[in-house]
Amino acid sequence: MSREDRLKQLDKAHVWHPFTQMSEWTDPLVIERGDGNYLFDTDGNRYFDGVSSLWVTLHGHNHPHINRAITEQLGLLAHSTLLGLANVPSIELAAALVKLAPGALNRVFYSDSGSTAVEIALKQAFQYWRHQGQERPHFAYLDQSYHGDTLGAVGVGGISVFHEVFSPLVRPLDPEMRVATPATFRGGGRQRRGWGECAELSLAALKGLLERRAGEIAAMIVEPVMQGAAGMLSQPAGYLKSVAELCREHGVLLIADEVATGFGRTGRMFACELEGVEPDFLCVAKGLSGGYLPLAATLTTERIFEGFLAPRKDGRTFFHGHTYTGNPLACAAGVASLEVFQRERVMEQLPSKIEHLAGRLASLQRIAQVGEVRQRGLMVGVELVQDDTWRAFPPEAFVGAKVCQEARAEGVILRPLGDVIVMMPPLSASFEELNLMVDAVGSVLRRLFA
Ligand SMILES: *Cc1c(COP(=O)(O)O)cnc(C)c1O
């Protein structure tokens, strides 16, 4: 048996893949190597990494500057705990992050994944109010939101296919806290409402909830500008700003979950900047280490931080931490990734890439099965529909999955969300590579629906 076949067989025998119906896991594509914006399988085939290895890779794989930073750190220290000790890279990264973050976020709490970054924000917000003498056990969240897979994050998750099965396990069990998002009002087919009207209806729903129950709500959590896992649902301009204003008016803290949108994806370092929003908490993960190592951070303000300060006996300590919190290798990768932003003038190059991508995506609009194309920066969702009446495909046809599977033959790795084709290329993608990605989808669609 060849080495490739042996690996595939062992994978099928032992590895349980995430978000995957394993009964249909038949012929795994085994990735062995990455270089620049490409992945290589065990047979040596090359693929453009069209989803940044699930939204994490920023500057490409095997990047010399990040590689060197990790290797140098490895020669010094792979891990030491932040419980009772500090370490060099975690200090440097925290100092760099607070400089970049929107608003007055001055304190950094590390963890390992987007889900844990969200758990920490929820727990800190709740405990903050407790120390203010207020019991606020609820969190407002948007319909179709995604904030991670741990139970606290599932409790503020609004995607039924992912979250419904666990509903008996999670709190808050108060259905009122799930606020209709603009997409909730969109409707289907030709009767779709305009996004502006949808946004107003959503804001009215949020206003109503806050007027009735703000005093019980510790915080509102949102994915700013783009609800990623729901299928790249972009919020109309001004929506995020209005959400932030409503929260402030009603004394409810705002948690910005920028796990997906952070680090340049929307064209700004953080999506909150697009609307001048200053959240009370900022959750980052995915791109934080440049896509190299699991690392997350929850940033918050001095006001929240000070709410936890008191003599130890007063019980105000934040009793939360993960074993690998502040891991030096991951933090060294994070520092190096932020240095790459400077060295390669990454942000300066984004506007032209974003515009180029928009132009190329417009060519897809001529295909009858392309419904709405939603783009914010280098985050894109291409919604597939049956025809120009915008009727959805039956879910059991798995059209999105088929398109992405076929795109591999065109040398592009993509992963859909239902019948939305997600494109989230590395920030380092060239014009030619953006063309390759979009054209692959175009030729697959033309072939499938010819
Ligand atoms: C991916 C994601 C998460 C969860 O991050 P993990 O690292 O997978 O736990 C949370 N929030 C948003 C907006 C995400 O896109």
* Mean pLDDT within 224-240: 96
pLDDT above 90 (res 450): no
288 lines ligand 1 (CB under 6 A): no
Q: What is the DSSP string of 16-34?
A: --TT--GGG--S---EEEE
How many Å apart are CA 440 and CA 174, to the nearest integer?
44
Task: State pLDDT tens for residues 51-81.
Answer: 999 999 999 999 999 999 999 999 999 999 9
Cβ atoms within 10 Å, residue 65: 14
Task: State pLDDT tens for residues 299-308.
Answer: 999 999 999 9
146 lines ligand 1 (CB under 6 A): yes
pLDDT above 90 (res 389): no
Q: Which amino acid is at 228?
A: G
* Mean pLDDT within 98-117: 97
Task: State pLDDT tens for residues 243-291.
Answer: 999 999 999 999 999 999 999 999 999 999 999 999 999 999 999 999 9
228 lines ligand 1 (CB under 6 A): yes
Q: What is the pLDDT of residue 215?
A: 97
For residue 284, report the distance from its CA to the centre of ligand 1, in Å: 9
Q: How confident is the model at residue 167 (pLDDT cuts 50, 70, 90)?
A: confident
Share of the chain above pLDDT 70, in %: 99
For CA atoms 38, 41, 46, 52, the dihedral sign is negative
For residue 178, report the distance from its CA to the centre of ligand 1, in Å: 18
Nearest protein CA to atom 6 of ligand 1, as residue: 114
Q: What is the pLDDT of residue 172?
A: 56
- Nearest-atom number in ligand 1 for the CA of 115 is 9
Close Cβ partners of 273 (under 8 Å, ≥ 6 residues apart): 102
Mutational pocket test of ligand 1: of 115, 144, 159, 163, the residue with most ligand atoms within 8 Å of the beta carbon: 115
For residue 151, report the distance from its CA to the centre of ligand 1, in Å: 13
How many Å apart are CA 440 and CA 342, to the nearest integer?
32
Q: What is the pLDDT of residue 189?
A: 74
285 lines ligand 1 (CB under 6 A): yes
For residue 283, report the distance from its CA to the centre of ligand 1, in Å: 9
pLDDT above 90 (res 22): yes
259 lines ligand 1 (CB under 6 A): yes
pLDDT above 80 (res 190): no
Q: How confident is the model at residue 390 (pLDDT cuts 50, 70, 90)?
A: confident
- Nearest-atom number in ligand 1 for the CA of 294 is 7
Mutational pocket test of ligand 1: of 147, 181, 293, the residue with most ligand atoms within 8 Å of the beta carbon: 147
For residue 367, report the distance from its CA to the centre of ligand 1, in Å: 32
pLDDT above 70 (res 123): yes
112 lines ligand 1 (CB under 6 A): no
Residue 172 has which token pair? 């808050």
229 lines ligand 1 (CB under 6 A): yes
pLDDT above 90 (res 388): no
pLDDT above 60 (res 159): yes
Task: State pLDDT tens for residues 24-34.
Answer: 999 999 999 99
For residue 257, report the distance from its CA to the centre of ligand 1, in Å: 8
Residue 153 has which token pair? 């994050």
Q: Is-contact 320 284, C-beta < 8 A? A: no
57 lines ligand 1 (CB under 6 A): no
